[in-house]
């Protein structure tokens, strides 16, 4: 997720902040309701978006018993209770945040709601590409005879295709009243990575011999990512945060999806993906070895150094909060079959976080120096997902799950929290799975 032009405008409401269980209880309660007119997007119940035509679902939710992930799960709820909580969270996200208002025919989008707290480049009820990417991932994983999500997935994908830029990537911020300047029309790399992975999962969930060739669309998107979002020097192949800026001198570690790169390499044979994986592993090892906390910065150079840009902080902050959860998902999908670096980093972070909290999870704040010195002031509570790598972190996992479960999807600031809640609950419960059969040894 990209930062605004002026870091002082940055808001603690970015999409995957809630993936790390930030509940901003100090905001006033204000719900977003469906069926309204006068410029406010009309939202619907899940029933409205269910597919009616017959189709095969190869990997129906819940998958926790058919595709076993590595790692521990919360012990404060039964598996059946966690599955039901995933279902409720998914229905709430659709109910409050999916709309066809201001969409091309046959498409739908998650919107940001009215604000306040929107970044300077956004506007009320606009859409971010990150929401499309994570929404497509969650939708394909939630499909079963009850949810019938193939239609919703297709509508989100249609919105993505209607807002594809000249690079073959999705525009990062889709406005409706304000101008679509070049900053908004550029991509956000992580969104395109998630969309590509969602399309691959859709191929294995539903097949590509119907109206949409998911695999062909995924391969086209991977080509666009490789062509426009990769920078190289003699040492590294790095992921740019956007097409028109960033590269060797500026990377965002949270954008790297080493979870996906083994699958993409097996699918395409393209050596770009193991090269990106190698660079990300270098960064993880560099920061863990240097600081011993498991904290990575929001921004750094390809070599891990401070980019020395005022609004690109060399701190563990809102972007970097996503990093430990990606380590947890990597461990869930692969265990240590691809090495120990991500498992060890997650273990280091979970241990540091537990020591920092010292029995009081409200002590965990939004921003730290990389050595673990608190810099921020907003309490974000327990980030429990990294704890799945070890039974010794059961209490952290339980606390993180409970905190995620408490996110209210109807609050006006929940434009990211509601979707993040779905993703976290799927990961915690063992239902965030790789059902492609790709990426193995």
Return the pLDDT at 243.
97
pTM assigned to the model: 0.93
| Residue linked to tokens 């719900």 | 31
pLDDT value at position 354?
A: 98
CA angle, residues 29, 32, 34, in degrees to nearest 5: 155
Q: Which has the higher per-residue pLDDT, 50 or 181?
A: 50
For residues 234 and 217, what is the distance between their CA atoms, to the nearest angstrom?
31
| Euclidean distance between CA atoms 292 and 317, whole angstroms | 17
- Please, which pLDDT band fits residue 16 given cuts at 50, 70 and 90? very low
Average pLDDT over residues 56-76: 96
Domain ranges of the chain: 7-428
Q: Which of 75-79, 168-172, 180-184, 323-327 has the lowest mean pLDDT?
A: 180-184
What does the CA dihedral 177, 180, 183, 184 come to, rounded to 10 degrees? 70
Whether the pLDDT of residue 15 is over 50: the answer is no
Residue spans of alpha helices (H) in 243-380: 261-268, 272-291, 323-334, 341-357
**CA–CA gap between residue 321 and residue 22 (Å, rounded):** 10
- Cα 115 to chain centroid distance, Å, stands at 21
Q: Does the pLDDT at position 33 exceed 50?
A: no
Residue 190: strand, helix, or coil: helix
Question: What number of CA atoms fall less than 13 Å from residue 196's CA on the CB side?
Answer: 26
> pLDDT digit string (tens) for 85-101?
999 999 999 999 999 99
Which tens digits make up the pLDDT trace of 228-277? 999 999 999 999 999 999 999 999 999 999 999 999 999 999 999 999 99
Residues 6+ apart with CB under 8 A from 405: 85, 421, 425
Cβ-based neighbour number of residue 219 at 10 Å: 19
Report the pLDDT value the prediction gives residue 121, as an integer from 0 to 100: 84
DSSP 55-117: ---SSPSP-TTTSPPSS---SSS-HHHHHHHHHHHHHHHHHHHEE-TT--TT--EE---S-SS
pLDDT score of 40: 86
Count of residues making up the chain: 441
pLDDT confidence of residue 34: 35
Contact 171, 123 (CB under 8 A): no
pLDDT in the model for residue 182: 73
* Residue closest to 43 by CA, chosen among 124, 111, 145: 111
Cα–Cα distance for residue pair 238/272, rounded to 1 Å: 9
Q: What is the pLDDT confidence band of residue 117, given thresholds at 50, 70 and 90?
A: confident
Confidence of residue 416 (pLDDT cuts 50, 70, 90): confident
Tell me, what's the pLDDT at 149?
A: 98
Mean pLDDT of 40-69: 96
Residue 312 and residue 291: Cα distance in Å, rounded? 20
Sign of dihedral through CA atoms 168, 169, 172, 176? positive
Question: Is pLDDT above 90 for 286?
Answer: yes
Q: Find the mean pLDDT for residues 319-341.
A: 97
**Average of per-residue pLDDT values in the chain:** 90
* Cα–Cα distance for residue pair 225/239, rounded to 1 Å: 9
User: Which of 40-44, 47-51, 172-176 shows the highest mean pLDDT?
Assistant: 47-51
What's residue 145's pLDDT?
Answer: 98
Report d(CA 416, CA 409) in Å as an integer: 9
Sign of CA dihedral 360, 365, 369, 374: negative
CATH (one of 1.50.10.10, 3.40.50.150, 3.30.70.890, 2.70.150.10) for 7-428 = 1.50.10.10
Give the pLDDT confidence score for residue 360 in this predicted structure.
98
């Amino acid at each position: 997720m990209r930062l605004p032009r002026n870091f002082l405008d940055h808001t603690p409401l970015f999409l995957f902040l809630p993936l790390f269980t930030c509940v901003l209880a100090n905001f006033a309660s204000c719900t977003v309701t469906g069926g309204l007119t006068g410029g406010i997007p009309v939202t619907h119940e899940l029933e409205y978006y269910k597919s009616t035509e017959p189709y095969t679902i190869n990997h129906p939710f819940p998958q926790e018993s058919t595709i076993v992930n590595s790692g521990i799960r919360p012990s404060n709820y039964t598996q059946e209770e966690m599955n039901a909580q995933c279902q409720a969270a998914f229905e709430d996200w659709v109910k409050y945040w999916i709309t066809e208002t201001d969409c091309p025919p046959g498409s739908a989008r998650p919107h940001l709601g009215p604000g306040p707290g929107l970044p300077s480049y956004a506007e009320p009820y606009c859409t971010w590409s990150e929401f499309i990417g994570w929404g497509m991932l969650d939708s394909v994983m939630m499909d079963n005879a009850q949810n019938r999500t193939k239609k919703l997935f297709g509508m989100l994908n249609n919105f993505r295709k209607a807002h594809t830029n000249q690079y073959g990537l999705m525009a990062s911020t889709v406005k409706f009243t304000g101008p679509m300047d070049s900053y908004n029309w550029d991509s956000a790399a992580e969104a395109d990575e998630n969309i590509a992975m969602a399309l691959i999962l859709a191929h294995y969930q539903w097949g590509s011999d119907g109206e949409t060739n998911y695999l062909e669309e995924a391969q086209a998107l991977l080509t666009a990512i490789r062509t426009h979002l990769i920078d190289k020097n003699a040492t590294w192949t790095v992921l740019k945060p956007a097409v028109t800026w960033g590269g060797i001198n500026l990377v965002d570690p949270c954008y790297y999806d080493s979870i996906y790169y083994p699958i993409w390499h097996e699918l395409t044979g393209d050596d770009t993906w193991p090269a990106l994986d190698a660079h990300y592993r270098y960064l993880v090892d560099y920061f863990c070895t240097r600081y011993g906390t498991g904290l990575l910065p929001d921004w750094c150079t390809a070599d891990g150094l401070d980019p020395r840009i005022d609004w690109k902080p060399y701190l563990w902050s809102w972007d970097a909060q996503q990093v430990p959860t990606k380590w947890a998902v990597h461990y869930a999908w692969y265990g240590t079959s691809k090495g120990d670096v991500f498992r060890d980093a997650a273990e280091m972070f979970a241990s540091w976080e537990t020591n920092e909290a010292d029995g009081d999870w409200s002590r965990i704040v939004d921003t730290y120096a990389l050595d673990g010195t608190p810099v921020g002031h907003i309490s974000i509570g327990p980030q429990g997902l990294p704890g799945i790598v070890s039974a010794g972190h059961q209490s952290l996992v339980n606390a993180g799950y409970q905190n995620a479960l408490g996110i209210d999807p109807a609050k006006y600031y929940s434009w990211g929290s509601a979707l993040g809640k779905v993703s976290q609950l799927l990961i915690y419960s063992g239902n965030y799975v790789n059902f492609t059969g790709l990426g193995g040894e």
